[in-house]
């Protein structure tokens, strides 16, 4: 199973068209028989969970059905991953588009009660360049507790060894959120996740205090990258 994450930045003052796209794109994605799961999401500022939305930036997560002929692995443009209507819309508004083709390899949890990335082991032997998706539905009575810890963790991640880039995204601001991050290798990612005290303490609190009504944690091998985000391809020279 393969999936893609596309992050789109609209020109300044044109963010409204990003809002509109969240409704418009549902039909072509739903009609595409090669897609098994998708999510259209907004983004937070500063590359992680952020209480302030980034009205210029939006993202599309797509999970594809089994690619028996390895067609997806041979593509040379993100436009082959998205329905034509979506590509045309982005071109019309001169959007900056960054897309990753990803292979899920390990993880646990559900999204809308679905194991959308298939049945994955919790661990694998892979140790190279890695991407991580963490997402959760935050209980209403835990929102204050959750958001009071976000800034400290974001600061630690941005300065952590092996960290490449991240983006915060979500279906519903402040309540349903996710962070997607890129790391040079699994060892550096684990050193941040389990070795840095602030982050490790928060992980314990989420379980002990039952912050989430649903959560998911998945790791991926980045296979290909296309385009740029804020003028930069964070994986240039790494794939």
236 lies in some domain: no
Mean pLDDT of the chain: 89
What average pLDDT score do residues 71-89 get?
90
235 lies in some domain: no
pTM of the model: 0.92
Domain containing 37 equals 3-227
For residues 3 and 52, is the Cβ–Cβ distance under 8 A? no
101 lies in some domain: yes
Cβ atoms < 10 Å from Cβ of 167: 23
pLDDT at res. 74 = 86
Number of H helices, E strands in the chain: 6, 8
239 lies in some domain: no
Bridge partners of 132? 181, 219
238 lies in some domain: no
pLDDT tens, 11-50?
Answer: 988 989 999 999 999 999 999 999 999 999 999 886 666 6
E strand or H helix at 214:
strand 212-227
- Structurally, how many domains does the chain consist of? 1
Q: How many whole angstroms separate alpha carbon 183 and alpha carbon 128?
A: 9
55 lies in some domain: yes
**Nearest Cα to Cα of residue 117 among 229, 5, 233:** 5
pLDDT tens, 93-128?
Answer: 999 999 999 999 999 999 999 999 999 999 999 999
127 lies in some domain: yes
CATH code for the domain in which residue 137 is found: 3.30.70.100
């Amino acid at each position: 199973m393969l999936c893609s994450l596309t992050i789109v930045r609209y020109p300044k003052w044109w963010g409204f068209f990003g809002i509109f796209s969240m409704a418009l794109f549902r039909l072509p994605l739903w009609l595409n028989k090669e897609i098994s799961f998708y999510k259209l999401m907004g983004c937070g500022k500063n590359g992680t969970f952020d209480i302030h939305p980034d009205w210029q930036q939006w993202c599309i997560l797509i999970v594809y059905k089994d690619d028996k002929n390895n067609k997806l692995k041979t593509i040379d443009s993100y436009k082959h991953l998205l329905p034509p209507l979506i590509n045309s819309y982005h071109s019309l508004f001169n959007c900056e588009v960054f897309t990753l083709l990803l292979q899920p390899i390990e993880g646990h949890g559900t999204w809308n009660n679905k194991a959308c990335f298939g049945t994955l082991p919790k661990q694998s032997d892979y140790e190279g360049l890695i991407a991580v998706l963490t997402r959760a539905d935050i209980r209403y009575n835990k929102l204050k507790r959750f958001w009071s810890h976000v800034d400290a963790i974001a600061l630690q991640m941005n300065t952590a060894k092996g960290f490449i880039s991240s983006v915060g995204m979500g279906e519903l601001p402040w309540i349903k959120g996710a962070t997607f991050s890129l790391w040079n290798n699994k060892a550096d990612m684990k050193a941040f996740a389990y070795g840095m005290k602030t982050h490790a303490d928060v992980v314990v609190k989420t379980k002990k205090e039952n912050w989430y009504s649903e959560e998911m944690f998945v790791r991926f091998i980045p296979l290909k990258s296309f385009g740029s985000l804020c003028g930069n391809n964070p994986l240039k020279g790494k794939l």
